[in-house]
Amino acid sequence: MNIKPVCGKAAYCAGLLFFFLLLPAMAFAQKKEKKTSLEELVQWMQGTYSSYTQSVADTDYFNITLNMHPIWQTRTDGKWLYVEQAVAAMQYRPYRQRVYQIVRKGKNTFESRVYTLPKPERFVGQWNNTALFEGFTPDSLTLRDGCTISLSKKGNAYIGQTNATTCPSDLRGAAYATSKVTLTATTLNSWDQGFDETGKQVWGAVKGPYRFAKALPAAPLQYPPAKRIQQTDDYHGTTVADPYRWMEDENGPDTRQWVAAQNELTAGYINQTGFKQPLEHQLQQYFNYPKMSSPRKQGAYYYFFKNNGLQNHSVLYRQKDLNTQREVFLDPNTFSADGSVSLSVISFSHDNRYLAYATSVGGSDWREFRIIDLQSNQTLPEKLDNIKFSGAAWYKDGFFYTRYAKPVAGKELSATNEAARIFYHKTGTPQTEDVLVYESKDNPRLSFGAMVTSDEKYIILSVSEGSASGNSLFYALADKWQFGFNPLISSFEHNFSVVDNVAGKLLVETNYKAPNYRLVLIDPANPTEQNWTELVPEKPNAVLDNAYLANNKLLLSYMQDVSSRLYIYNLTNGQPETEITLPALGIAGNISADKDEPVFFYTFESFIYPPTIFKYDFSDSSTIVFYKPEIPFNFADYVTEQVFYPSKDGTQVPMFITHRKKIPLNGQHPCLLYSYGGFNISRIPEFKPENLPFYASGGIYAVANLRGGAEYGETWHKAGMLEKKQNVFDDYIAAAQYLIKNGYTRSKKLAATGRSNGGLLIGAVMNQQPDLFAVALPVVGVMDMLRFHKFTIGWAWVSEYGSADNARQFPFLYAYSPYHNIKPQLKYPATLVMTADRDDRVVPAHSYKYTAALQYAYKGPNPILIRIDTMSGHGGGGQGKTTAQLIETYAEVWSFVFKNLGMYPAP
């Protein structure tokens, strides 16, 4: 018998032969039946087997997956099975494919004849493709003489083996192979061994047989009850039911009881997979590497963040120069014993005398600001609270910030955030003495931001009506801000962002008359458009991402086809001087530059390129690697490709696909498709250590850059908002179809995921085309599109989504709202909804109501579960979480994915 050597472990090789010869022995007799029919035997044989449990307990054994499925069911010359066997992490490339013919030899005895297939690669994973197997007959098969296994029933098991020396083998110098098998209703034990002509064993297990367990149908889940109330609302003549309105009270006893019961159910399901512990171990290895941010020069020191590996939070260090001993300056790990208090903002005063920093409790958007005197290293006594969506814009010995009214007790995480105001705080004084700088009594739903130019000459206020609107700009001479602000840009139609003051004029980045953005100079004394100077015009094929002043030049970061391009421009005439070569398709970010510094730093990363810090020196235009992390993963075995696929209306949409090199495109790979598609935010090629277990287990990770994002400027953004939101869903569905059509995966191997606006995306496509996916992971999604604007900062999204209060906008919102479009007749994929109890951006009620409605409507076999993080905020796996919490989160998420995609953790 010709057995290919596909392993380095003897026990693994020992498990190869037996599966193909012995499977007929998988007859599982029922105790009450004395006669075992051939039909009954085949019924017990078919299914999926795994040696995962044994491989975890003993590393001498590989994790093997074995599939057996009936074919040619109308033939009368016995029963036929297609058999496929593979290392679990490489199911797309089985090392053995066979066909078995099962025939009866006596009352309780059977014989399994083993055949090889012509061109077996075309059959990988195709056991349900009846037409494919009907295209040929047993005459096309080759019988493996001497390798037949004879089985007989003994008690509740079938015992079988090959003849002593008749099954030929040339593996590792063998002359023949033997196989022994013991089969029960739920297990298969097989022991294959190879021997040379002298009878000496040359391959195969020494300890004993491979032990396989059969995958059995899971018992139906019993979901915690969720009462349905008679709540309806009238929207412009349309009556809409909302039976789970009570879940909007996040502190209500019924809500708390439901949350606790759902978390208990989900934890039990995850634990039963048996995957959490090995995945946690892998994730700890992949997270355990030093992580650094680009160093930033502030006065006499360089400051940077560093995490030694598994610290809960990164620590702020400083050092005199890049070669001296570093010292801990601010350690967020000391803020709380459990790590629930995190550092969210730092801001240095222009004279480097002070540092303002903000903390968040449990990932909430609410912030508390403190101040450190950098001369004495003492923390000042004042504490500033009721702050959201704000930095600290320093002027002299104080700073501007945005503050809201103190929320009603018990509604801190759900009450609407309106009436923002800008205050100025002077160091050393209590917050009660802060000076009100700006407010809008006429329109409480305006958002504000403040910045101060680096020379402290101008104070700039940015005012916007919503997250998708443009913004207006106001300015004041810094020493006269108490007398009010003057308009610089009056409309809200376009985006304007001040970079800095350049020779008395404001350098402004804008998409006004330039969807891909340009740089203009505006004289505050004469800000009318005809007096603007265009310094750097819009590029037709790239979007201006960010602009910095560096060494009295312009450092411009562009995005071209969703990858970074870095350029040095002349600050005087706006002409390009140098393009900085980047390592690959990826993103250059975390840029640390100063107009007076002769060097700058940036971090480059991509899906399989860990964040690496580079240092650029203007003196000789050189780039060197400043810091490169070392991670125990062989990235050289993987590749990222970028493809462009047509959406429903023909629009070409880019997508990144990361996978192991040289995989066959046979549709057998597990795949995770991640997207966002909204709010002018790009899904960039970023490195995520949490994805490494998925790669190692044979997974493909795809990121589709849907309309609604910033990948191709404002035109791309507007094509995916308001009444055009369906374009985003169509783009995502087309991405899934492309992956399937081109052989990367198939529906039963495809998982869908997205966060926040991306969670809404997944909820919508689950309703519109659930058959495309085997798994869905909507994370902190906006699921109730009729009421999102009634909570926290949701009103700011009306410019992106529209509002159900608007008679013209209600119909398209109602048409795709995930909560309102769940249909009982649909076959939904295995679903794990994720949210966090302290998410005060997309309140958890969205996910609560959606999950309750889906559990109520769907009666199929796939699990519908929800995972609710505690002491965590928006991101459902990111904001405010410690490293330990992140590892636990991803171990549980991957456990769910692996279970429902038929995957196993790599060894």
How high is the pLDDT of residue 875? 57
* Dist. CA 865–CA 874, nearest whole Å: 19
Domain boundaries, the chain: 10-214, 232-284+633-901
Is position 756 annotated as part of the catalytic site? yes
| Annotated catalytic residue, options 313, 717, 789, 874 | 874
- Name 452's Cβ contacts closer than 8 Å, sequence gap at least 6: 350, 393, 394, 395, 400, 458, 459, 460, 478
Question: For 861-883, what is each residue's pLDDT tens digit?
Answer: 999 999 999 877 885 445 678 99
* Dist. CA 385–CA 370, nearest whole Å: 9
Q: Which structure tokens are listed for 603? A: 């971090």
Q: Which range (187-196, 273-282, 283-292, 457-466) has the least confidence?
A: 187-196
Q: Which residue has the tokens 């013209």?
A: 808
Helix axes 276-287, 253-273, angle to 10 degrees: 90
Cα 105–Cα 69–Cα 865 angle in degrees, nearest 5: 140
* Dist. CA 815–CA 824, nearest whole Å: 16
How high is the pLDDT of residue 763? 99
Task: Reduce the DSSP state of residue 90 to 3 states and report it.
Answer: helix
Q: Which range (30-34, 214-218, 335-339) has the least confidence?
A: 30-34
In terms of pLDDT, which residue wins out, 11 or 480?
480
Q: Region 761-765: what's the mean pLDDT?
A: 99
Contact 21, 147 (CB under 8 A): yes
Domain 232-284+633-901 class in CATH: alpha beta
In the chain, count H helices and then E strands.
Answer: 14, 53
* Dist. CA 676–CA 682, nearest whole Å: 8
Binning pLDDT at 50, 70 and 90, where does residue 457 land?
A: very high
C-alpha torsion sign, points 296, 298, 301, 304: negative
Contact 601, 548 (CB under 8 A): no
- Whether 10-214 shares its CATH topology with 232-284+633-901 is answered no
Dihedrals phi, psi of 789, to nearest 5 degrees: -75, 0
Question: For 16-38, what is each residue's pLDDT tens digit?
Answer: 333 333 333 333 333 344 445 67
pLDDT of 7 > 60? The answer is no
How high is the pLDDT of residue 734? 99
| Annotated catalytic residue, options 55, 756, 872, 895 | 756
Is position 874 annotated as part of the catalytic site? yes
In terms of pLDDT, which residue wins out, 5 or 248?
248
How high is the pLDDT of residue 671? 98
Residues 409/414/419/423 CA torsion (nearest 10 deg): 70
Q: Which range (177-186, 521-530, 537-546) has the least confidence?
A: 177-186
In terms of pLDDT, which residue wins out, 24 or 112?
112
| % residues pLDDT > 70 (the chain) | 95
How high is the pLDDT of residue 62? 86
Helix axes 276-287, 883-901, angle to 10 degrees: 130
pLDDT of 357 > 60? The answer is yes
How high is the pLDDT of residue 409? 82
Q: Which structure tokens are listed for 694? A: 């998925």
Binning pLDDT at 50, 70 and 90, where does residue 421 land?
A: very high
What CATH number should be reported for the domain whose range is 10-214? 2.40.128.590
How does the average pLDDT of the chain come out, rounded? 91
Q: Which range (406-420, 525-539, 588-602, 853-867) has the least confidence?
A: 406-420
* Dist. CA 186–CA 573, nearest whole Å: 77
| % residues pLDDT > 90 (the chain) | 71
For 430, which DSSP code?
-
Q: Which structure tokens are listed for 443? A: 């329109």
Binning pLDDT at 50, 70 and 90, where does residue 127 land?
A: confident
